[in-house]
A and B are shown apart, each in its own frame.
Chain A
Amino acid sequence: MIFPYRFRAALLLTFVALQLGCGDKSTPSTASTTPATATTGGKKKIAFITNGVDPFWNTAVAGVRAAEKEFDIECSVLMPPKGLIDQKRMLESLLARGIDGIAISPVDAKNQVALIDEAAGRCPVITHDSDAPLSKRLCFVGMENYKAGRAAGLLVKEAIPNGGKVMLFVGRLEQLNSQQRRQGVIDELLDRPQQTSDKINFDVAGKVLSGTKYTILDTRTDNFDYARAKANAQDAMASHADLACMVGLFAYNAPHCLEAAKEAGRLGKIKIVSFDEAAPVLQGIIDGHVHGTISQQPYLYGYHSVRLLKSLVNGDKSVLPPNGFLEVPIVEVRQKNAQAFWADLKKMQEIGK
């Protein structure tokens, strides 16, 4: 049966319209996706760009919203679902339409320098969460990832004081923050001297690193495929019967380690150390299945980014911290402070939604 031409055309148009409609609606938190036009009616407009979509960023957005009200400025939040490509597209759209200031978490510190510099040529740009030190960004708001890595290393030492084999898991190793975190954990476990964040020697991935008590088997990446993240944890347990500890360097890694350990009946036997504050991790800490996690306090990333940009777009550079680095202190979450930490976090995440 062949439908009349008009009917076919109408059906096609409906399909296309549906697709376009949903495409627009599909990114509500990217609200983002309707980039601000620069200064209208006297109110400056700035943008807060993340490096992906994750509950971690909801907490940061809560900080953005709080600062928006406090400093009377309008901030769009953009969450690129596909990392680098979407981030570039979003940033270019912002620049094309006009924006007064940008806070960005670069996906690739080295190779996005030109893009960040292009933006910095048009408006004040700061980085948050992950830095691009070679770019012309005015300042970096975040924790010292290397230092946080060392703190996570200390948590591992607490969890397995007699030493043992450790496997690291991360989404991707291209990002400077994941490289620095990883190196911090390695240096701490191998009792190496402290390195300075601006000049870190990185160990090559794929090599077994052994110290007196601890052996770092490898760093497995999953490219943000959650099934792969879980399979990596399972495979680590399968190939190393004596694996003592799994460290998740990104927020979603430890929850998958936890799932894998649970299914293998090794909860509590294999220690887990995490970064960030995913709900299963906090529950795991309360239940005693995860030793601890390092929180970056993302709320403050959002808050300080907006606070700094507000002054910068008004031409006030006195707010810039020395060395261009505003350090947000980390919080170590263990069983004793997990309940209170989680209660505060839930309140913040609700605001950020």
Chain B
Amino acid sequence: MKKTLGIFGLFLAVFISTALINPRFVSVYNLENLIRWISLFGIISIGVSFVIITGGIDLSIGSLIGMTGSLTAWLLTQRGWSVSTTLLTVLAVSLFVGMAHGLLITKLRLQPFVVTLCGLLLYRGIARYITDDQSQGFGNTQENLRLLAIGKVAIGSKFSIPIPFFILMGIAMVASLILNRTIWGRYLFALGRNETAAHYSGINTDVMKIAAYMTCSLLAGIGGILFSLDLNSIQPSGLGEFYELYAIAAAVLGGCSLRGGEGTVLGVIIGTAVMRVLYNAINILSIPTHLEFAIIGAVILAGVVTDELAKRYATNRRAIREQLGDNPLNKSQ
């Protein structure tokens, strides 16, 4: 919890300062949009956090989003498949991709970086091949299905919560339960901290790793479906590009260590929120878009540095206090 305090402070700082400069930032319409984007990106970020906790990495998320998003639109509109068959197929493909990653990493002992980097190229190529590189969309069809991404549930007379938020909450609760309240969660953390030790203490580390990659790909697949439903205009060569970096950045910002063994679901959601709020603030404050990467990079870096310095200061203070407490001269006074 303490680990997420710093990033939550950064979130509050950006949120409050933007709201003070332009009060329309906290308008109902903008908050609803913000919640939707945080939810969509949050889902894929939770997925990658599972892999990061095991000490791995998944660079194929963006391409998998492109492939599953394109597949969803293509199967529904070009091939005339039913909604249930399409969704089940896309989710099955995602799980299969995750399993393939896991098997290659555990059984062939290939580096996660290499396997998922190849996946990044492979899935983008498949998406473009299947769709003949043509933009996909639902047009005016699938209005009901699209509610999964663009629908809202009214809370009171003025405010509505976008449906993706409920999907995120459902996923976050399950993920949190698994990580914190089940033996598998403990195994994942143990594996991330010291794989050899975990292995020799009887944990089937291969199975846990495969499960982590399958979770990551499944959530990327769900993300792909939701992004395609939300955008209604999908370019197979572009959808999801660089989203793996957004997801990894959000996970790391939220307290996941790239060395493995650390991370919380709440932290990942807050990390995602920081990224999306920054993007939103740049537009709301009419900051030129060509400055956005520079600003996001600078703000996040400043936040992380401040957080680290604050932690060190607190640790030093604690150490000094303990030293003083242990000193017999002090005790006698």
- Which residues does A use to contact B, with CB under 8 Å? 1-3, 8, 11-12, 15-16, 18-19, 22-23, 25-30, 53-55, 58, 79, 81-82, 173, 205-206, 208, 217-218, 220-222, 224-228, 230-232, 234-241, 252, 255-256, 259, 263-264, 278-280, 283, 353
Which chain B residues border A12 with CB–CB below 8 Å?
108, 110
Report how many residues on chain B are interfacial, defined by Cβ distance under 8 Å. Answer: 53
Among B140, B284, B288, contact of A239 (Cβ-Cβ < 8 Å) = B284
Of A26, A53, A232, which contacts B283 at CB under 8 A? A232
- A26 close to B124 (CB less than 8 A): yes
Bound complex: CA A290 to CA B234 (Å): 20
Interfacial chain A residues near B288, Cβ < 8 Å: 205-206, 218
- Which residues of the partner chain A approach B233 to less than 8 Å between Cβ atoms? 226, 252, 255-256, 259, 278, 280
B132 lies within 8 A of A353 (CB): yes
Residue of B nearest to A24 (CB): B125
Check A353–B121 contact: CB distance below 8 A: no
Residues of B near A54 (CB, < 8 A) are: 135, 235
The answer to whether A55 and B239 touch across the interface, beta carbons within 8 angstroms, is no
Is the CB–CB distance between A235 and B239 below 8 Å?
no
Q: Closest CB-CB distance, B286 to chain A, in whole Å?
A: 6
Nearest chain A CB to B128's CB is how many angstroms away? 5
Smallest CB separation, B86 vs chain A (Å) = 20
Most chain-A CB neighbours within 10 Å: which of B108, B134, B137, B289? B289
Contact status A22-B22, CB under 8 Å:
no
B81 to chain A, nearest CB (A): 21
Q: Which residue of A lies closest to B118 (CB)?
A: A19
Min C-beta distance of A110 to chain B, whole Å: 16
B118 to chain A, nearest CB (A): 5
Q: How far is the CB of A65 from chain B (nearest CB, A)?
A: 15
- With A58-B134, A206-B288, A353-B134 as given contacts, are A226 and B235 in contact (CB-CB < 8 Å)? yes
The answer to the question of B231 belonging to the interface, with a C-beta cut-off of 8 Å to chain A, is: yes
* Interface bits B114-145 vs A (CB < 8 Å: 1, else 0): 00001001101110110011110101100000
A-B contact pairs, 16 of them (CB 8 A): A19-B122, A30-B133, A79-B133, A205-B290, A206-B290, A220-B283, A226-B233, A227-B227, A228-B279, A234-B29, A239-B24, A239-B283, A255-B233, A279-B137, A279-B139, A283-B139
Q: Which residues of B contact A220 (CB under 8 A)?
A: 283, 289
* Complex-state Cα separation, A222 to B279, whole angstroms: 11
Mark each residue of chain B from 199 to 218: 1 if its CB lies under 8 Å from any CB of chain A, else 0.
00000001000000000000
Q: Could you tell me the distance between the alpha carbons of A279 and B109 in the complex, rounded to whole angstroms?
A: 48
Confirm or deny: B9 has a beta carbon within 8 angstroms of a beta carbon on chain A. no
Which residue of B121, B135, B280 contacts A55 across the interface (Cβ within 8 Å)? B135
- Residue B232 at the chain A interface, CB threshold 8 Å: yes
Asked if B238 is an interface residue, CB under 8 A from chain A, the answer is yes
Of all chain B residues, which has the CB nearest A82?
Answer: B237
Q: What residues on B are CB-neighbors of A259 within 8 Å?
A: 231-233
B104 within 8 A of A: yes
Chain B residues with CB below 8 A from A256, complex form = 231, 233
Scan residues 211-256 of chain B and give those whose CB is less than 8 A from a CB of chain A: 227, 230-235, 237-239, 241-242
Q: Which residue of B lies closest to A223 (CB)?
A: B289
> Which of B33, B238, B289 has a CB less than 8 Å from the CB of A234?
B33
Which residues of B lie under 8 Å from residue A81 when comparing CB positions? 128, 133, 237-238
A8 nearest in chain B by CB position:
B108
**Residues from chain B with Cβ under 8 Å of A255 in the complex:** 232-233
Q: Are B133 and A27 in contact (CB under 8 A)?
A: yes
Query: Which residues from 1 to 42 on chain B have a C-beta closer than 8 Å to any C-beta of chain A?
Result: 22, 24-25, 27, 29-30, 33, 37, 40
Question: Contacts A19-B121, A238-B29, A263-B150 hold; do A53 and B237 have CB atoms under 8 A apart?
Answer: yes
B107 within 8 A of A: yes
Assess whether A22 is in contact with B107, with CB atoms less than 8 Å apart.
Answer: no
Q: In the complex, how many angstroms separate the beta carbon of B27 from the nearest chain A beta carbon?
A: 6
For residue A122, give the distance in angstroms from its CB to the closest CB of chain B: 28
Least CB distance from A81 to B in Å reads: 4
Q: Judging by beta carbons under 8 Å apart, are B125 and A236 in contact?
A: no
Instruction: Please determine whether B235 and A221 come into contact, CB atoms closer than 8 angstroms.
Output: no
Q: With A and B bound together, what is the CA distance between A29 and B129 in angstroms?
A: 9
The reply to whether A238 and B30 form a contact with Cβ atoms under 8 Å apart is yes
Given contacts A1-B206, A239-B24, is CB(A29)–CB(B133) below 8 Å?
yes
Complexed CA–CA distance, A230 and B40 (Å): 14
CB distance from B188 to the nearest CB of A (A): 20
User: Is the beta-carbon distance between B132 and A231 smaller than 8 angstroms?
Assistant: no
Distance (whole angstroms) from the CB of B281 to the closest CB of chain A: 9
A27, A224, A238: the one within 8 Å of B24 (CB): A238
Cβ contacts under 8 Å, B140 to chain A: 283
> What is the chain B residue whose CB lies nearest that of A266?
B29
Contact of A224 (CB < 8 Å), options: B33, B132, B150, B238:
B238
Name the contact of B231 in the complex, choosing from A8, A15, A226 (C-beta under 8 A).
A226
Selected contact of B241 from candidates A15, A208, A225, CB within 8 Å: A225
Cβ contact within 8 Å between A226 and B234: yes
**Are A218 and B238 neighbours in the complex by a CB distance under 8 Å?**
no
Known: A235-B280, A259-B231. A1 touches B122 (CB 8 A): no
